[in-house]
Amino acid sequence: MAAPSPHPPTPSCPPDIASQERVHPMVQRPRRPLASLLLAASALTFGLGAPTTTGITATPQPTPATPKPARDVAAARPNVVIILVDDLDWADVSTYGRRDAPTPNIDRIAQSGVAFSDAYVAASVCAVSRAALLTGRMPQRFGFTYNINDEGDKGAGLPIDQKTLADRLRPLGYRAAAFGKWHLGSDPQFYPTRRGFDEFFGFLAGETNYVDPATPGIVTTPTKEDKYEIGPRTGNHAMVEGPDARPADDFSRYLTNQITDRAVDFITRATADKNSPFFAYVAYNAPHWPLQVPQSYYDRFAHIKDPVRRTYVAMIAAMDDGVGQILDTLEKRGVRDNTMVLFLSDNGCPHRFGFCNPDHPFGAGKFTYLEGGVRVPFVFSWPAGLKTRGISASPVSSLDIAATVLRAADPAHALPRELEGHDLVTTARKPQPDRLLVWGQEPVYAARQGDKKVWLSRDWNQSHLYDLKADPAEEQDLSARDPKNDKRLKTAIERYRTSLPAPLWKLHSTRKVTVNGRETEMVY
């Protein structure tokens, strides 16, 4: 989401969504205040006893920044590693003070950089969110309005006239590789090596199986709502590699580990040339369903009695270990200081499957525009170029990644005008608490500025105003008591909505869903 103009996101990923009328109810537990969680995280993760004076705080409200030099600039163009995970809940990383799902390696990134507590993606579903991250633009602005259905949306994909971050880094001498989930189109013109990447290993669809369930030492746990078949990986779900998309499947090996191994190999090879920077886009499938994990990880969490939740947390642990291997490789190759590492999820956790954190502070999840759908874990480290440390409550967006990388890689030139993001290095040093963020597509939209947020459904003819500081779960509608902020944010939504072109492919469905006894609207 960019600052001067409103920005949006979109909806969902699973093929069976049309048959789902209700979200799996979350267990009701007293919510721990968000501020206390972040204070705990500040002390536990960063060793901070109080808010800093650099704009990084241990509470949701950032303090004024102290004057600093215009920019912390590294001498050489930085390497870039973007680690994008799938359907990871904000509350399922230990970086923000949670201990249900320990993520020591994600915490390592935060300890050498910044964890953003109010970080958002541009959409609440897979494909649209990924299109935003790699282009630095709201995808709805170029017709990438709805999610790509793996089977039915033939010809759908990231338009070829939209440049990816890899496209923009290539003229600057970067070697780029993508690993894992693509989900930006399966036709030849959308293939990663035709979108700026030099190498690719992964799958083109929105999800795939992690491993053959008959493999010894593998735990496969079905959920009540999951109709996914655990069978051979075929079609767009199969693993491919190289410019010719040749088969590269090893169904006996756990997919998370395969993605890690390929990323580590690329970094090792790329760092042999000390004069050329690299860009690694590591898009783990984890912890997206189906729920599969090696027994050794499952055994770590015997204290979790629900097998669905236990498998999901174990999958997070396996993914976190992969993050650790990538960090270890950067350190061993002597390039960690001048490597930007950005970790985030593509959207929130889908609560209808019953494996998300039952004690998270936000409402609903994936497919929705409540906080749980678009507010995600997001950490950023660049030791040579980002000197700020701690937890920042400044609202940021996945749209900021392209702007941040390009500003660092090519500081002598202005950013392309079409980019909608802000530089995260500047934001970390000088927070922007009143930044306007706008999301959505027909028929559901949302907008946030400061602590106020509007959620709006045009087909339901409903809207609600929330105070996220006092009510992060979005349970109390304040529109009647605060008409000024209600009108201001609705005006921003309308300005954004009326600026959009027609979608390039159709809306799949909308559904009324219930979470914690509350109804909201899901868009696919």
Tokens matching residue 215: 């493999």
Residue of 126, 356, 422, 508 marked catalytic: 126
Q: Alpha helices of 333-377 — where are they, by DSSP H?
A: 371-374
Position 334 in a domain = yes
pLDDT in tens, the chain (524 residues): 433 333 333 333 333 323 333 223 223 334 555 555 554 555 444 443 333 323 333 333 333 333 333 344 445 899 999 999 998 988 899 998 778 889 999 999 999 999 999 999 999 888 999 999 999 999 999 999 999 987 657 789 999 999 999 999 999 999 999 999 999 999 999 999 999 999 999 999 999 999 998 999 999 998 766 665 677 888 999 999 999 999 998 999 999 999 999 999 999 999 999 889 999 999 999 999 899 999 999 999 999 999 999 999 999 999 999 999 999 999 999 999 999 999 999 988 776 666 666 667 777 677 788 888 899 999 999 999 999 999 999 999 999 999 999 999 999 999 999 999 999 999 999 999 999 999 998 899 999 999 999 999 888 889 999 999 999 998 999 999 999 999 999 999 999 999 999 999 888 778 777 766 677 877 76
**pLDDT of 61:** 34
Residue of 7, 183, 422, 464 marked catalytic: 183
- The range of the structural domain enclosing residue 115 comes to 83-429
Establish whether 126 is a catalytic residue.
yes
Residues 283 and 506: their CA atoms lie apart, in Å, by 26
Number of structural domains the chain divides into? 1
Q: What is the pTM of this model?
A: 0.87
Position 481 in a domain = no
Position 233 in a domain = yes
Tokens matching residue 81: 């590693």
Position 63 in a domain = no
pLDDT tens string 215-237:
999 999 987 666 656 778 889 99
Residues 60 and 470: their CA atoms lie apart, in Å, by 11
CATH number at residue 301: 3.40.720.10
Element (DSSP H or E) covering residue 252 = none
- Angle (CA) 512-518-520 rounded to 5° is 35
The burial class, CB within 10 Å (0-12 / 13-18 / 19+), for 315 is buried
Position 109 in a domain = yes
Position 66 in a domain = no
Position 473 in a domain = no
Establish whether 183 is a catalytic residue.
yes
From start to end of 142-261, where are the E strands? 175-181, 199-203, 218-221, 240-241, 246-247
> Residue 391: helix, strand or coil by DSSP?
strand
Position 282 in a domain = yes
